[in-house]
Structure 1
Amino acid sequence: MIDILLHVLEEMKDGVIRFFEQDTEVKKQWYTRDFIKVFQYNSNFDLFGAPVTNWRDTFTAIIAPTPPNPEILPSVCRDILLEYTNQVMELGDTLFELLSEAIGLEPNHLKDMDCTKCLFALGHYYPACPQPELTLGTSKHADNDFLTVLLQDKIGGLQVLHQNHWVDVPPTPGALVINIGDILQASSFTFSIPLITNDKFKSVDHRVLANKVGPRISLACFFMTNCVTTHRLYGPIKELISE
C-alpha cells in the first residue's frame, strides 16, 4: 500500500493557504473562466449558471495525462502540488487495483480501462462566514468521476447523505477521504444507466457547510475522463452483467 507522508499532507494544506492568502493583485493573474487553461483560479466555476452562489474560492490544475509545465503554476504552491499529486497518482494505482479485486476482476482491470489516466486537482478555500445558516460552502452533489482523493483540514464541514440524513465526516489527522464517483457506479441522478461497475460500488451525495470558523481548506484530486478529449465509451463491465 502506498502511504503519503504526513509532512507532505501538511505542506499541501499550507500550499493551498499560501495561494489563496496572496494579495489580490498577485492572485488575479491566474483568474479565469477559460476551462481549457491548465491552471485556473475563480470564485464558483458555475457562478453564472447555478441557482445559488457557494461561499468559497477555488483553484484547479490539470495534472495528468500530460504533466503541467511547472512555470505556469503559482510559485507559492508549485513544488508541493506536483509532489503531492505525483504521490496521489501512485496511491490511485493501488486503490484501483484493490477495487478491481473487490469486484472479482484482475488487479489491472480498472487501470487498463484508463481509470487512472487523468488527474484533476481542485483546491477550495472557504473563508469564515458571518452567517453560515444562509449559504453553503459547496452545494449537494456527487463527484462526476471514477474516484476522488480528498485532503481536508481540521475544521470540518464535510457531510454525506446517508438514508436521507446528512452525516458529518469529521476530519482525521493524517487521513484522506476516498469518494466513489458517478462513473464508477453511476448514480441515477447523473446517468440513465449504471456505469462501469454496474452498481457494485455506490457514489455518494455530499456537501460542505459554511462555518463561522475559517478559513477551511481542502484539496480534492479527481481521477476522471474529461482532462483530455477521448472517444472511449464507458458502459457496464461484461463480467459484472447478469442475464
Structure 2
Amino acid sequence: MGSITTDETESKLKSNSDNRMDELKAFDETKAGVKGLVDEGVVQIPTLFHHPPDKFSYSTNSTNTEHIIPVIDFKNTRQHIISSIKEASETWGFFQVVNHDIPLNVLEDMKDGVVRFFEQDTEVKKEMYTRDWTRPFVYNSNFDLYSSPAHNWRDSFKCNIAPNAPNPEDLPVVCRDIVLEYGAHVEKLGMTLFELLSEALGLNPNHLKDMDCSKRVMLLGHYYPACPQPELTMGSTKHSDGSFLTVLLQDHIGGLQILHQDKWIDVSPIPEALVVNIGDLLQVQEC
C-alpha cells in the first residue's frame, strides 16, 4: 500500500479548504440566503449546513412541570414578580413573561413583519444584503458564515433600536412601522426587567440601568425556511447569548429548546408570552 507524505496531506487539506471557501463565496454572492436555496427547489442541502449529532439527550417528558420553564405573570404583586424572577434566573436562566403591557396585536404584527421581509421578492432583498455591520439595517445569512464550522438553516436581519433610534427611511418599507413600534415597546419592557432583576439581587432598582446595562438595544429577526433534510442541520446551533438580556418573541411553530441539567427542554410557544434569557454579561455582573 502507498502512503501519503506530509506535503501531499497539506496539499489535500489546502485543496479542501479552497473548495470550501469557494462554496461559501458562491452562496454568499447569491445574496438570496437559505430562502434562495429553498426557492430553487434544493432537495439535498449543501454540506456547509451539515451538523454533527448533539451529545445531550432530549427530554421526552416535557409535560412534567419540572421540565417547563417558569411563566411569570406581571399582574401579580411586585414582590411576587421579583421573587419569581430571582428563582427562575438562578434555576433556569430563562423565564417567560405574560401581561407585560405589549399588546398582542403588536406581537403578531412583528412576527408578520419578519415574514413579509424575508418573503418579498429576492431582487428587492438583495439591495439590503450586506456584511457591513455599521449599516443601520443588516440582512444576510449566517453572520459567522466565514468562521463557523457548520451553518444554520436561517436568514437574519438586525438593526439597532437604542441608544439612537433608526431613521425610518433606513428600514425596509414592508416592516418599517412595526419594527419601530415593537422596538419601542421592548425597550420599555427591558427597563422594567432590569429594575426587577436589580431588586431580585437585593440592589437599588436603578442599579443595572445606572451601569448602562440597558443602554443598547438591538432587534434581530430570524427566518427559518422549510428544510428538505432537517435531520442534517439546525435552525440555530447551541449557544449562549453574549448580551445582558435577551427578550425573544416566538411564533406558533416553536422549536426553541434550552439546555437544562444536560437535557434539551422545549420552550412551548404561548401566544402572548415573551421569553427572557439571562445573557452572559449579566451573569458576569452577578458573580
TM score, norm. by length of structure 1: 0.77
* Matched residues, number: 189
Q: CA deviation at 1:181?
A: 0.1
Which residue among 103, 107, 113 is the counterpart of 2:211? 113
Percent identity, aligned pairs only, is: 68
CA distance in structure 2 between the partners assigned to 1:159 and 1:149 by the alignment? 15
Q: In the alignment, residue 183 of structure 2 is paired with which amino acid?
A: T
Larger radius of gyration: 2
Shift of 1:130: 1.2
List gaps (5 residues or longer) in structure 2: 1-73, 75-99
1:171 Cα offset (Å): 0.6
Cα drift, residue 36 of structure 1: 1.1
SS class of match (1:16): helix
Tell me which protein shows more strand as a share of its residues. 1
Secondary structure at the residue paired with 1:75?
A: coil
Residue 96 of structure 1 pairs with residue 194 of structure 2: yes
- After TM superposition, the runs of 4+ consecutive aligned structure 1 residues lying more than 6 A away are none
Tell me the amino acid that sits aligned with residue 156 of structure 1. Answer: G
Compute the TM-score of the two structures, normalised by the length of structure 2.
0.65
User: How far does the alpha carbon of each residue in 1:135-171 deviate from its partner, in whole angstroms, 9 at most, with x for none?
Assistant: 0001110000000000010101111001111111111
Cα distance between partner residues in 2 of 1:167 and 1:96: 26
User: Matched residues in 1 for 2:121 and 2:282: separation?
Assistant: 40
| Match of residue 151, structure 1, among 229, 249, 255 | 249
Aligned residues: CA RMSD: 0.8
1:21-44 Cα deviation digits (max 9, x unpaired): 000000011000011111000011
Partner of 1:173: 271
* Unmatched tracts of structure 1, length 5 or more: 186-194, 199-243
| Alignment counterpart, residue 165 of structure 2, candidates 45, 52, 67 | 67
Other-structure match for 1:234: none
1:81 CA displacement: 0.4
Choose which of 137, 143, 160 in structure 2 pairs with 1:39: 137
In 1, the alpha carbon distance for the partners of 2:255 and 2:228 equals 15
Find out whether 1:28 has 2:112 as its counterpart: no
Q: How does 1:132-147 map to 2 (within 5 A)?
A: 132-147=230-245
What residue identity is the alignment partner of 2:218? Answer: F
CA distance in 2, matches of 1:117, 1:4: 20
Whole-angstrom CA distance in 1 between matches of 2:141 and 2:191: 32
